[in-house]
Amino acid sequence: MKKLFLLAAAIVTIVDMNATTNGKKPVYKDPKAPVEARVSDLLGRMTLEEKVGQMNQLVGIEHFKQNSAAMTAAELATNTANAFYPGVTVADMEAWTRQGLVSSFLHVLTLEEANYLQKLNMQSRLQIPLLIGIDAIHGNAKCRDNTVYPTNIGLASSFDVEMAYKIARQTAREMRAMNMHWTFNPNVEVARDGRWGRCGETFGEDPYLVSLLGEATTRGYQGNLDGTDDVLACVKHFVGGSYSINGTNGAPCDVSERTLREVFFPPFEASVKAGGASVMMSHNELNGIPCHTNKWLMDGVLRGEWGFKGFVVSDWMDIEHCVDQHHTARDNKEAFRQSILAGMDMHMHGPEWMDAVVALVKEGKISEQRIDESVRRILAVKFRLGLFEHPYSDAKTRDKVINSPEHKATALEAARNSIVLLKNDGGLLPLDKSKYKKVLVTGINANDQNIMGDWSELQSDDKVWTVLRGLREAAPETDFSFVDQGWDPRNMSQAKVDEAVEAARNSDLNIVCCGEYMMRFRWNDRTSGEDTDRDNLDLVGLQEQLIRRICETGKPVVLVIISGRPLSVNYAAAHVTAILNAWEAGQFGGRAIAEILYGQVNPSAKLAMTMPRSAGQISTWYNHKASAFFHPVVCGTSEPLYPFGYGLSYTTYKYAGLQLSAGRMAADGSVKAQVTVTNTGNRDGVEIVQLYVHDCVSSVARPVKELKDFRRVELKAGETKTVEFTVSADKLAYYDIDMKKIVEPGDFEILVGPSSRDNDLQKAVLTVE
């Protein structure tokens, strides 16, 4: 790229595009001109180098500086969160930006840097604004003082589609106020393997739930993709990364086309059809073909079948991984060629792209027309986002928008609704303050910002509620003693565990906060999150011992789990008194947990992912095929620890009288299903009412049940409501033996209840004619 920078400097005899052509502004600078006309006009003015530059991304210069000081080239080869470019200086990167040879930056964390880069870029000949991208997965949490919402798995456990939309909308506002325009979310991978460290950034294991939340998130980020409050969504990772061998990130995925179409594709299709204007490919190879060079996926399915009009971006150096990981290309240049010809539009990230791709065009190995297609897609999005008219933001706007009272209220509400009560023996919860006066709080997650979850950086302490802080605020009269177990599950101190056990003997109640560690600034010390996969789902380190020995004191124990992945907490499930699975609840996590423990909030969330008893049970997802447990395992059980859709409340609900408006329906018809739900306890609550469908006999084997609808229903104590669903033909359709989507005549069970567990479900039979 150094070569090119000099070359471009020579070619570009600075034509000032602000100057009028025959007294008129160029069409591409006219905000009133249609986007297509602006794109064509601009494309016609661009050199090959400028075009290839529009297909490239670099990491931000602050990120670069930090890592060039800290990393070796060997570390660089495997690290997918930090980067620098050997042999390149900050001055080089600044010069390329001034030359208009960079399209996008990622890992830019401040408004100042975003504006600085944009300003450099505005010195370029054509002044094509930079698109600043960031992983704003649960709020723009990598940036200081931006609102941190619960991660996707917690959001999914609230089954709250409107909340997903609202969070995305608020995040978009905060991002634009930070002059950031492109979030690498929603992650709409269907999580089917708890060993995979990225479950927390997904919406869980069910294709229908993931589809709805992905779609709402996409709409929330993008709005109409035409305002200064809108950002570009990135639907990722296409496809199969959540179903890799061994559950490790980036490992091969071998899966039938049927399972792709039934399970993994639907959420992508939904988000793309909701307007998602960028898609990121997945690290892994799919059935032997790396996703990054997979023409079937990019041109066939995405553009051909689903009509995707946006642009495709590579994941972190993944085109390059065709060389060193998949061994399907001899060198990076060849990998770039394969990827572009398969449909790739933008490269994440690095300077090598420029020389190689320009050479490929000059050598006739890629046509300039093919380059133009990609550049058109990228420019169209930049125009739609209004970047040409609004390339900057300012500190005043930022300070008004980020972490605003409204956004904080949303983050708190989302946290309250995301925490799942798994166990509550003898109604220990909500806690009675007059009975439990001396309370021990301990565990690695009792007082750490880790509660926010993966994809957040350290925030100022005053903005984050740890569990300890939340408890002290919720029950100021209670005597909380805290035994600090440190943050690091792998290096816990036996002496500290002993100390906690001693303290437990002298307390009335013990709150133990366990789980995983996922803060990115300690990349190599985490136990969960991106690139942090496990071979079992047990608690790491001395955590299990801590729980066991505290239980053995005979005092009541509440376990609070902070984790993005389901954990096989078998001992706790059998012995502690109460369990809250709080996932990664964001900046207000500790406050929401304390409010639930002390009954200011009645928990309502339900698991968006099955909790297996062991890694051997990772395939016990609820929507398995009937024969999955024909021969049950010996010395164990086929039942998971807690099933999908399960979660308790401080009140109880009774379901009764499931009725269909008709017992028969035409293959293109629909019926109504009604059920009454009564709050039979003495507290108001919100119940997540779930509707599943089971095809009794089908020409192709179908799952034992599939979620097809749900409602969050508010019920006052004693109140009864009738909940109505529409069972339409599309909810019964499936891919037949010829992979055509059809509704087959026959009987379907319509199942409604509070979880996916058979015993929890009311049943009615619908016959399709």
Catalytic residue ranges: 315
Residue 680 to residue 689: CA distance in whole angstroms = 15
CB of 70 to ligand BGC, least distance (A): 17
Contacts of residue 422, Cβ cutoff 8 Å, sequence gap at least 6: 573, 579, 580, 581, 607, 611, 642, 646, 647, 648
Of 49, 50, 135, 174, which one interacts with ligand BGC (CB under 6 A)?
A: 135
**Please, which of residues 143-202 interact with ligand BGC by CB under 6 A?**
184
What is the DSSP track for 640-683? Answer: -SB-TT--B-SS-EEEEEEEES-SEE-TT-EEEEEEEEEE-SSS
User: Least separation, in Å, of the C-beta of 531 and ligand BGC?
Assistant: 7
The maximal CA–CA distance of the chain, rounded, in angstroms, is 88
Residue 650 CB, shortest distance to ligand BGC, in Å, is: 37
Convert residues 82-111 into a mask of x (bound to ligand BGC by CB under 6 A) and - (unbound): ------------------------x-----
Beta bridge mates, 21: 24
- HSE-CB of 101 using CA atoms within 13 angstroms: 28
Q: Which is nearer to ligand BGC, 184 or 268 (CB)?
A: 184
- Residues 595-628 as b or e (16 or more Cβ within 10 Å = b): bbbbbebbbbbbbbbbbbbbbebbebbbbeeeee
Cα torsion angle, 42, 44, 49, 53, sign = positive
Report the candidate in 194, 129, 47 with the shortest Cα–Cα distance to residue 607: 194
Write out the two tokens for 489. 């599950």
Least distance in Å: CB of 102 to ligand BGC? 16
The first and second tokens of residue 416, run together, are: 């309250």
Q: How far is the CB of 521 from ligand BGC (least distance, A)?
A: 14
And the tokens for 665?
């329906």
Q: 533 vs 706, which CB is nearer to ligand BGC?
A: 533
Residues 202 to 261 in contact with ligand BGC, rule: CB under 6 A: 236
Distance CA 374, CA 370 (A): 7
Q: Check residue 68 for interaction with ligand BGC (CB under 6 A).
A: no
CB of 291 or CB of 402, closer to ligand BGC: 291
User: Considering the complex, what minimum distance in angstroms separates the CB of residue 57 from ligand BGC?
Assistant: 9
Q: Considering beta carbons, is residue 80 or 674 the nearer one to ligand BGC?
A: 80
Nearer to ligand BGC, 315 or 695 (CB): 315
| Residues in region 312-331 near ligand BGC by CB under 6 A | 315-316
Distance CA 678, CA 681 (A): 9
Site residues for ligand BGC, 715-744, by CB under 6 A, read none
Give the nearer residue to ligand BGC in terms of CB position, either 262 or 315. 315
Of the CA atoms within 13 Å of residue 16, those in its CB half-sphere come to 3
Nearest position to ligand BGC, beta carbon:
184
Task: Give least dist CB 276 to ligand BGC, A.
Answer: 14
Which residue of 80, 82, 397, 674 would you call a contact of ligand BGC, by CB under 6 A?
Answer: 80
SS3 475: coil
Where in 19-38 is the site for ligand BGC (CB under 6 A)? none
Give the C-alpha separation, 329 to 346, whole Å: 18
Cα 537 to Cα 76, 567, 611, distances in angstroms: 29, 5, 9
Nearer to ligand BGC, 137 or 578 (CB): 137
Number of residues this chain uses to bind ligand BGC (CB under 6 A): 7
Residues lying near ligand BGC in the complex (CB under 6 A) are found at: 80, 106, 135, 184, 236, 315-316
